[in-house]
Each structure stands twice: as C-alpha cells, then as structure tokens.
Amino acid sequence: MATLKDVARKAGVSEGTASLVINGKAGPKNTTREIVLKAAKELRYVPNSAARNLARKESTTVGLVVTDIENPFFGSITRYVNQFLARKDQSMVLSVSNDDAKTEDSIIRNFIQQGVRGIIVAPTQLSRRNTAILKDVHEHRIPIVFISSYYKDFSAPRVLTDYSQGSYDLTNYLIDTGHRDIRFLVSHDLDAPIARERIDGFLRAYGDHSAMPHGRAIHRCPHPDFESGYREASRVIKDGKPDAIVTVNDVMALGAKRAIKESGLRVPDDISVAGYDDVVFASLSEIPLTTVRQNIPEIARAAVDLLFSPELQNGVDVRIAPELVVRKSTKAKNTHHSR
C-alpha cells in the first residue's frame, strides 16, 4: 500500500506536484509528469479514497435503498441505477429494507453517517410515516430522490411511472374488448401511490366509457405479493365470476392466475388477468402475462440525473410514460356477460 509520499519521493518531486499529476491537473510539465506516472505504476500506487474524501470534503458513493431485491423489478432498478452511477464515477452502496420503515430508517442513518453523496430510495408501501430521519438528510444537505413511490408528508424530488395513465390504458383496453366486471387487487394502504394513482386511472377509464365498475371492484390485500394475489383472487372467484382480475404488480397477477386455475376456470377464456411492471418472468410463463411495462432504464436515468442536478427542486415530480403490453392472459369477452 504505497502512498503519495512514496511516489513523490521515488519520482524526486514534492507531494504537491505528485498530487497534481495523479489528478491530471494543469501545472507540471510533461517530462516530470511522465516520471511521476512511472513511479506510481512501479509502486502500484492506488489513491486512498478515505483520505481523498476527507481532504476534498466530498464523497463518490451514493446509497440506494430498495424494499425487496429478490423482486426482478427492483433488480432491474438496481442494475440501471448502478450503470448510470458508474458513468459518473460513483459507487453504489445498496441496502434492502424488507419493506419495513424502521429498517429503512436505520439504513438511511447509516448512509448519512457514511457520508454518501446522495440517496435514492424506493420506499415502503406506506402513504406516510415518521419523517424525522428524512429531515436529518435535508439538514445534512445531502440530496435525496424517491423512486417507484414516495411519502405524502415529505416533500422531495421523485421519479415514478405515470401509474394512473398505465392503469387507464389497461382498463380502457379491457373495456374496449368487452370486459365489464373488472376487479382490481391493490395494496392495503389505499393512500399509497401504488394504489391511489392506479385506482384513479382505473376509475377514469370507466368514466370515459360512461360505465360503472362493480360495486366492490377494489380489493385490498395485506401485502402486494404472490400469496396475497392468490388468496384474494380465490375469494373473488368464490363470490362470482368477473370478466377480469387486474393487480398492481406482476407477482400478484401470477398468484391470481394460480387461484383461477385451481378453481377449475381458465385464463384467459373464462377470466382475463393482467399485472403491472412487466418483470422478466411475466413473459416467460406458459400464458404470457398482459401487463403495463415500466420504463425502468428511464426511471433510473432520471433519478440519477436529478440527484446530481444542482437546481434540484423540492417539489419535482418526474413522470415516465408506461406502455401497455398485451399478451395472452387477456382475451376479448362477449358483451352479454353474466352478472
């Protein structure tokens, strides 16, 4: 572990000039520049970033928090955030919160202690929570941006898919293809963006068709996961046969598919199913899933850009357009449906 001093000594120059050439700054003439570089290479010199950060009073790592890294959606988010960060010579420290607010708190606390240059957080599926730690982040002047969701009682830049639009497009398509009784399986907290905005789009589509959704079209699930999708769909089916079941994400949709199949009904012939996200395995299953694709690379790019944007406003709300992806899990229904 050679130090800058070693390099300087070996090159026969002072630490100061050695520092200049190592950082490629103007000043030293080419001849000495070569000498220093040669010495550095021979000594296998690698700058100590702790010392560098301390002296420069800046850091080159940003923190990313996600709720569930085993979900390919967040895997994809992570991949692209990492990629765009790398282009700015920034490292990425990752921590997973398991969708728990307390854990999220302590992760963020660690981030600010580590002196990260910025924080990107995909928050828990709650609409609001204790924001003390987030205020700490502000006080420490460290930029933060939310992706995929946000807290209603804390103002910070965020980049999300236009969830409402996505649900609108999907619902529109379903109504146009003869579906009338469409059930929507959402998360528990109806005020969380993952639910609220999607429900808005859902209802808007019905409104535009001068139609009314089923009286109990919105079904809340304890968690937005496979198990919940399976259970709630089972319950729905037991009480009747809707034209379609749509969910707030793809894994829930897979759960619904399973429930329908086990009940003896078929997808899409008896009941159409659609999800949200377009995670990899959505297209891989035997009955490829109709879904709403989120443009993850764009989301990641916008988030990183926002983090490094100096005129980063508190109220920025970037929306990325979704894309309806029609596959095999939905199918046109006759209009004379059962009621």
Partner DNA sequence: CTGTTAGCGCGTTCAT
Partner DNA sequence: ATGAACGCGCTAACAG
By C-beta, is 14 or 98 nearer to DNA? 14
Give the shortest CB-19-to-DNA separation in angstroms: 4
Q: How far is CA 216 from the centre of its chain?
A: 30
Interface with a second copy, residue 113, by CB under 8 A: yes
Which three-class secondary structure string do you get for 258-288? Answer: HHHHHCCCCCCCCCEEECCECCHHHCCCCCC
Binding site for DNA (CB under 7 A): 1, 3-5, 12-17, 19-20, 22-23, 25-29, 31-32, 45, 47-48, 51-52, 54-57
Decide if residue 127 touches a second copy (CB under 8 A).
no
Provide, rounded to whole angstroms, the least separation between the CB of residue 10 and DNA.
12
Check binding of 78 to a second copy (CB under 8 A): yes
CA distances from 106 to 63, 146, 297 (A): 13, 17, 28
| The two three-digit tokens of residue 191, written as one number | 């005020």
Q: What is the dihedral of CA 174, 175, 181, 184, to 10 degrees?
A: 50
- Closest distance of CB 4 from DNA, Å: 3
Determine the size of the site formed for a second copy (CB under 8 A). 52
Q: Select 48 or 130, whichever has its Cβ closest to DNA.
A: 48
What type of residue sits at position 266? R
Q: Of residues 3, 82, 155, 263, which one binds a second copy by CB under 8 A?
A: 82
Name the one residue in this structure whose structure tokens are 């923190």: 63
In the 8-state DSSP scheme, what is residue 290? B
Stretch in the footprint of a second copy (CB under 8 A) among 27-35, 91-99, 169-177, 301-309: 91-99
- Encoded one letter per residue, x for contact with a second copy by CB under 8 A and - for no contact, window 283-312 reads -xxxx-------------------------
Report the C-alpha gap between 291 and 289 in whole angstroms.
Answer: 6
Cβ-Cβ contacts under 8 Å for 103 (sequence gap 6 or more) = 97
Q: Is 257 in the site for a second copy (CB under 8 A)?
A: yes
The partner in contact with residue 130, picked from DNA, a second copy, none with C-beta cut-offs of 5 to 8 angstroms by kind, is none
